[in-house]
Amino acid sequence: MTPTTELPAPPALAPLLARGALLSPFKRPRPDAAHPRTRLVLPALRVDTARLAAYERVCGFPTGFPAGSASPGDALPVTYPHVLGFPLAMRLMSGPDFPLPLLGLVHTSIRITRHRATPATGAYALTVYVDGLAPHRRGTQAAVVTEMRDGGDVVWESRSTYLARHRTSERPTGQREEEPRPLPAVDEWRLAGDVGRRYGAVSGDRNPIHLHPLTARLFGFPRTIAHGMWTVARCLAAHGTPDTAKVRADFRAPVLLPGTVTYAAQGGRFQLRGDGGRIHLTGEVSPL
C-alpha cells in the first residue's frame, strides 16, 4: 500500500531549498535508484486571492479579482495549480531519499489536463508524488505528478519531468528528435531583467539561476534566466485555454534576461523563439 502523508499547510519553501542545496553534492543520480514513494496531501487547500492576483499580473493573465471582489465564477489560470503543488514537490525533491540533486535540476516538460474549470474560491485536495525515474540521453529524469481534487473527483492534474544531467554509459537509441518548424509570429515581447525575481516572489520558486546574474553564472548561465513555468504561463495567457483541455509544453532552451522573444502560434500550437529563431518552448492546447 502506498504511504500517504497529510500536511496541515503547505511547507515553507526556504528551508526546503536550503536542505536540497546542502544535500545535492552527496546525490549520485542513476535511473535505477530508489525514489520516495510517499504521496503528500493537502486535504483542504484554499487559494490566497491576493497572491493569485499578483501571479496573474506577472504572467499576463486577466486579473480575476478586482479590488474587494471574489466572484465564484473566476477560474484559476490553467498553470496555477502547479504553483499550489510546488511546495509539496519541493519537499519530496529536497529530501534525502530523492536520488537526484536539487541544484542543477532542469524542468524539461509539463503535461496538464484540466477536466473542468476550477473556481478560485473553491476548496481543493492536492496530492503530489514522484512517479518514477527514467534514463535520458543526458542523464536521469524524474516524473512528478500533481493532482487536484474537488469532492473526490480529479479536476486538474499534471505530470512534470525534471532532468539531472550527468554522464551516461548508454548511447542514445532511436531517431534524433526533429527541430520543430517555426510557427507564424504573433507578437514580440521585451522581457525585463527582473522577470525571474518577480515570478519567484509570486510562485515561491527562488532558484538562484532566476534571481541574479552572479548566481546564474555559478551554474553556467551567462546571465539570469526566466522560469520555464513563467514562459509557458505567459504563452497560455496570450493563447487562451478552454475550461476542459490538455496542455503540453516542452522546455527546449533557457530564456536569458533581459531579452526579446517572439511569441508564435497557429491553431492549438504555440512557440517562444529567441534570437536567430532559436526555439525556447514548444506547446499545444487541445480540447478534451
Residue matched to cell numbers 500500500: 1
Residue 130: what pLDDT? 97
Residue 266 one-letter amino acid: Q
Q: How far apart are the first and last CA of the chain?
A: 32
Residue 237: what pLDDT? 96
Q: Taking the complete model, does pTM exceed 0.85, yes or no?
A: yes
Mean pLDDT by 10 residues, the chain (288 residues): 92 93 92 95 94 95 57 77 97 96 90 95 95 92 97 96 83 59 95 94 88 85 93 96 96 95 97 94 95
Residue 88: what pLDDT? 98
Residue 177: what pLDDT? 60
